[in-house]
């Protein structure tokens, strides 16, 4: 079901955003690390577009998908071979942020949210060892009050745990919070947490079209998302002491 058109600005008290595929195009870095890992294993590299379709469930799942050359291994509970995982992590530590770029409208959107006085958070399945350096290198770190990396809590997206935890840190209700993402995992996490959900159509939704999901709105840019909301100051109780980095 496609989202209905919004006629009035959405009133919210905080905004949560996904990282890879929403704020930053990180596929060039991930592709470089995956290619180096495959070289270490004596295997041929994969096309960049293949890596693009494999992003979204954390590094362990990305490595499994790269090794299998398929999306169909995500539900396999086994971990990827340790040698492959170690190789990828080593190469990604070097590549992380080298070629990542913010999408058009991201900085403008973040500036608009801040001008409204909205607390902001990042919710990503990327491990903290890569999330925080990436935010610093990209110049985005200063915008966020809360950063929830994929290894901070027991359950990453699509589980809502990270979103609910971030709302608690910002002292806002999930019902008054907007989640902006690029994938079905963001959509499911947002809906399960009780948040409003906007989706961007340009990200990494495992090759699928997010425009078929029943979110609150499909927005072409983060800047456009900012134009569609207003700060609900009656319910927003942001306390700047309620911040966390993971």
Instruction: Say yes or no to pLDDT of 237 above 50.
Output: no
Q: What is the pTM of this model?
A: 0.89
Q: Which residues pair with 135 in a beta bridge?
A: none
- Catalytic one of 18, 20, 29, 182: 18
Share of the chain above pLDDT 70, in %: 91
Q: Under CATH, what is the fold of the domain 27-95? A: DNA polymerase; domain 1 (1.10.150)
The average confidence (pLDDT) of the chain is: 91
pLDDT of residue 72: 80
Does residue 241 carry a pLDDT above 50? no
- For the chain, domain boundaries: 10-25+101-231, 27-95
Give the residue, 8 or 244, on which the prediction is more confident. 8
pLDDT band per the 50, 70, 90 thresholds, residue 244:
very low
Q: Which is nearest to 246 in space by CA: 19, 67, 14?
A: 19
Can 18 be counted among the known catalytic residues? yes
pLDDT value, residue 12: 98
Strand-pair partners of 180: 17, 198
pLDDT over 70 (residue 32): yes
Do 100 and 138 form a contact (C-beta atoms < 8 A)? Answer: yes
Q: How far is CA 97 from CA 26, 28, 130, 135, in A?
A: 7, 9, 9, 8
pLDDT of res. 71: 83
What is the average pLDDT across 81-95? 97
21 — pLDDT class (breaks 50, 70, 90): very high
The bridge status of strand 24-25 relative to strand 101-102 is: antiparallel
Summarised one tens digit per residue, pLDDT across range 108-147 is: 999 999 999 999 999 999 999 999 999 999 999 999 999 9
Q: Torsion angle, CA of 113/118/119/122, rounded to 10 degrees?
A: -40
C-beta of residue 66 within 8 angstroms of C-beta of residue 46 = yes
| pLDDT surpasses 80 at 19 | yes
CATH fold of the domain at 10-25+101-231: Rossmann fold (3.40.50)
State the sign of the Cα–Cα–Cα–Cα dihedral 212, 213, 217, 218: negative
* Residue given tokens 């996904």 in the structure block: 18
Position 74 scores a pLDDT of 62
Give the model confidence (pLDDT) of 196-227 as tens digits. Answer: 999 999 998 887 899 999 999 999 999 999 99
C-alpha distances out from residue 21 to 52, 55, 86, 204, 239, Å: 9, 9, 24, 5, 29
Query: In Å, how far are 2, 57, 64, 133 from 116, measured between CA atoms?
Result: 29, 32, 42, 27
> What is the average pLDDT across 25-50?
96
- Find the Cα–Cα–Cα–Cα dihedral 142, 201, 148, 214, rounded to 10°: 130
Question: 163-203, pLDDT tens digit by residue?
Answer: 999 999 999 999 999 999 999 999 999 999 999 999 999 99
Nearest to 145 by CA among 18, 34, 15, 49: 15
């Amino acid at each position: 079901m496609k989202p209905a058109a919004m006629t009035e600005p959405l009133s919210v008290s905080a905004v949560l955003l996904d990282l890879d595929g929403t704020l930053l195009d990180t596929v060039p870095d991930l592709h470089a690390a995956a290619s180096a890992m495959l070289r270490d294993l004596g295997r041929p590299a994969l096309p960049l577009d293949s890596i693009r379709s494999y992003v979204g469930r954390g590094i362990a799942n990305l490595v499994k998908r790269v090794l299998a050359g398929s999306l169909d291994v995500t539900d396999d509970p086994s971990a990827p071979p340790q040698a492959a995982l170690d190789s990828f992590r080593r190469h990604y530590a070097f590549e992380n942020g080298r070629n990542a770029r913010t999408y058009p409208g991201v900085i403008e959107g973040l500036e608009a949210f801040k001008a409204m006085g909205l607390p902001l958070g990042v919710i990503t399945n990327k491990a903290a060892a890569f999330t925080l350096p990436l935010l610093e290198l990209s110049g985005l770190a200063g915008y966020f009050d809360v950063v929830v990396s994929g290894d901070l809590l027991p359950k990453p997206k699509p589980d809502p745990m990270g979103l609910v935890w971030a709302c608690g840190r910002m002292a806002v209700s999930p019902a008054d919070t907007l989640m902006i993402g690029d994938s079905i995992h963001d959509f499911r996490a947002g809906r399960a947490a009780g948040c409003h959900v906007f989706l961007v159509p340009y990200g990494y939704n495992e090759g699928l079209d997010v425009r078929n999901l029943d979110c609150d709105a499909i927005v072409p840019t983060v800047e456009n998302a900012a134009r569609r909301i207003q700060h609900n100051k009656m319910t927003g109780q942001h306390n700047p002491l309620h911040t966390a980095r993971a």
